[in-house]
A and B are shown apart, each in its own frame.
Chain A
Amino acid sequence: MIPSRTALGVLGGLVALAILVGFPLAFSNPTTTTIAFFVLIFMIATTAWNAFSGLSGYIALGHAVFFGSGAYALAIGAEKLHLSGGWSVFALVPVSGVVAGVIAVPFGLVALRTRRHTFVVITIAIFFIFQLLAFNLGITGGSSGLQTPTPLWTAVGYNQRFYYVAAAILVLTVAMACGIRYSRFGLQLLAIRDDEDRARGLGVRTRRVKLLAFVASAIPTGMAGGVYAYFLGQIFPQFAFDPLFDISIALMAFFGGLGTLTGPLLGALVLESLQQEFTLNFSAGSLYLIVYGALFLVVILLLPRGVVPTLSSLAPRVREQIRRRAEVPPPPDQARDVA
């Protein structure tokens, strides 16, 4: 018997969940768990980005605004509340998400008036405005950045705590992305991607749908930024609001397959762990840039739609072969009956 697509999906999800939970237990080496943590952060951000950009076709290159705002929200919140570290700081992570979501409303109202290339450029412009604000406002500490509380946890299990918090956010984000993808809302987004004017003609409230999706994708990105800031212990404007972050999540989603559920996860897993490997093993970050750029260009030339869609277009052929092999020729007497 060949399992159905849904059954395979559920099975794959459970296996992925088991790996997600079991990973830090199996590999407790701090270097490995640090890399795993960064991979999770990018998985969250890429999945969230894809839930808006991948489905609607609006390529946003300003999500670092949400990531950075989430990071600063956590740092400023912890400072104002005089939190001394430990679990209580994690309670601010939802606040990071809310702050990012609130910022996404005016951001989206302005940017979503434009389309295609103009939208891309306006998201970049708004990103730079936020980066400049982070450099120059009093509340952000300017270029010297902000400290987040240092948790007084022992080295054993230190990374694991951050890992599991990030993992929990990832599960929620994937659930959200899945919910959007297979709902009426997701279909409306896909209709906007295919032909926005026609979608509007057919009764899709395009403005509202786009803005809602934009805000929905900002919230997990902000939460990821909050956890990231707490993990690093301090934040600087150029790392919280990093133009490379904007493009990295787009490249990761694209690498795996724009608009798919598993693509962004795969893209973040491959590209972020590659980046961390490079940073650890080669002090020069420039080599990484070359490999990263070249890898991406090769993928575009060979798999223009991304890894996951290309593989899944191969899947029916493979399934057909499996089915042929599995088919037992009918016993001779039955064959006679039919005849």
Chain B
Amino acid sequence: MGSAYAKAVVDGILTGGVYALMAAGLTLIFGVMDIINIAQGIMVILGAYLSYSLSVHFGMDLFATLIITIPALFVVGVAVEWFFMRRLADRDRTAMSILVTYAVAILIEGGITQVYGVSYLQLHASYVDTSVHIFGFYLPYIYLYGFALAIVLLGALYAVLYLTRFGQSLRAALQDRRAAELIGIDVDRVRTITFGIGIAVTAAGGMVFGATNSFNPNSGYDLISRLLTIVILGGLGSIGGALVAALFMLVLEDVVAVAWSPVWSTLVFFAVLVVVLTVRPEGLFGRAATRAQ
């Protein structure tokens, strides 16, 4: 029994890291643009399907597919921002962005269904199907590799944010759009690239998700509701908050699944959000008046 709990905690931490990466894109987009990207979930699934095609048809290694899928999703993100997001009026921006990105999500879901159908798929590789024996239980290698990938990419994201000139502009735009414009930052360009980066990380998240779960075009809904819960709990706009919230929620979910039943663990996931927001409407790590406009 003890090992079941240990497995739950380890599982939760490892998958939590991957969720943190996907949520980081979502929270970054929100922080800079005031946009809630409902399409984030289906973008993850799109990334998984792209990796699937590349690995099945071209025999590419799953991690090698990222060399293609990450830039591909970056381009998708830039295109979505270019065509739709920048046309949203500043008034009602958040509300409108939810509807527009939902429409984008529906469009992509329809496209994926046309190409791949609705049956469940899963990504396969030698390290997906073999396990390592640690702490008295077996764990597929992909969980470890996926976690490592997520940490590396989150680290890269941090490096971009804090060590580059673009990151400086991005943080400036995040803090105060008008002031950033006044000192000569091209905020529109920053937003477009931010949206691209926020979507690009889903390619990596999607590959790991697709290797650890079976997925179909419908899986985007479940994912986006989890990701939204994580970013709201972590405080919108905070990558560190998203990381902590993702680890906390995924560990909690896995532990509840062991202690009680997997059926109710998902319910606990959402119930935590409702309870936390009842007590602290700004989220666990949110700034008190997060963009109270």
Give the B-binding residues of A (Cβ under 8 A): 57, 59, 61, 110, 113-118, 120-122, 124-126, 128-129, 132-133, 135-136, 243, 247, 250-251, 254, 284-294, 296-297, 300-301, 304
Contacts and interface: CB of A to CB of B under 8 A. Distances in A.
A297 B80 CA distance: 11
Contacts of A124: 225, 228
Given A118-B232, A297-B84, A125 B103 contact: no
A294 B111 CA distance: 11
A110 B274 contact: yes
Given A136-B267, A286-B111, A292-B103, 12 more contacts: A113-B281, A116-B94, A125-B229, A128-B270, A132-B270, A247-B106, A251-B99, A286-B110, A289-B110, A290-B114, A296-B106, A300-B87
B221 interface: yes
Contacts of A297: 83-84, 100, 103-104, 107
A174 to B, nearest CB: 23
Contact of A132 (B84, B95, B106, B266): B266
B206 to A, nearest CB: 19
B229 A121 contact: yes
B30 interface: yes
Interface string B197-225: 00000000000000000000100010001
A296 B103 contact: yes
Q: 10 closest Cβ contacts across the A-B interface?
A: A289-B110, A293-B107, A286-B113, A290-B110, A293-B106, A296-B103, A125-B270, A286-B110, A121-B228, A59-B95
B87 A121 contact: no
Interface string B88-129: 010010111011101111111111111000000000000000
Contact of A304 (B87, B221, B264, B283): B87
Contacts of B114: 284, 286-287, 290
A254 B98 CA distance: 12
Nearest to A304: B89
Contacts of B113: 284-286, 289
A285 B270 CA distance: 29
A132 B273 contact: no
A135 B292 CA distance: 37
B263 interface: yes
Interface size class of B (residues with CB under 8 A): 35 or more
A296 B83 CA distance: 13
B278 interface: yes
Interface string B31-66: 000001000000000000000000000000000000
A304 to B, nearest CB: 7
B106 A289 contact: yes
A300 B96 CA distance: 9
A291 B110 CA distance: 9
Nearest to A300: B100
B103 A126 contact: no
A211 to B, nearest CB: 15
B83 to A, nearest CB: 8
Nearest to A125: B270
B118 to A, nearest CB: 8
A117 B236 contact: yes
A120 B274 contact: no
Interface string B220-252: 010001001100100010000000000000000
A134 B225 CA distance: 18
Contact of A120 (B87, B98, B100, B109): B98
A59 B93 CA distance: 12
B237 to A, nearest CB: 11
A293 B111 CA distance: 10
Nearest to A290: B110
25 contacts: A59-B99, A115-B281, A117-B30, A117-B98, A117-B232, A121-B232, A122-B273, A122-B274, A122-B277, A125-B270, A132-B264, A135-B263, A247-B99, A251-B102, A286-B114, A289-B106, A289-B113, A290-B107, A291-B110, A292-B110, A293-B104, A293-B107, A300-B84, A300-B103, A304-B87
A124 B95 CA distance: 14
B132 interface: no
Contacts of A118: 232, 236, 277, 281-283
Interface in B143-178: none
A59 B98 contact: yes
B271 interface: yes
Contacts of A293: 103-108, 110
A128 B268 CA distance: 11
A287 B277 contact: no
A299 B102 CA distance: 14
A241 B92 CA distance: 27
A260 to B, nearest CB: 15
B156 to A, nearest CB: 27
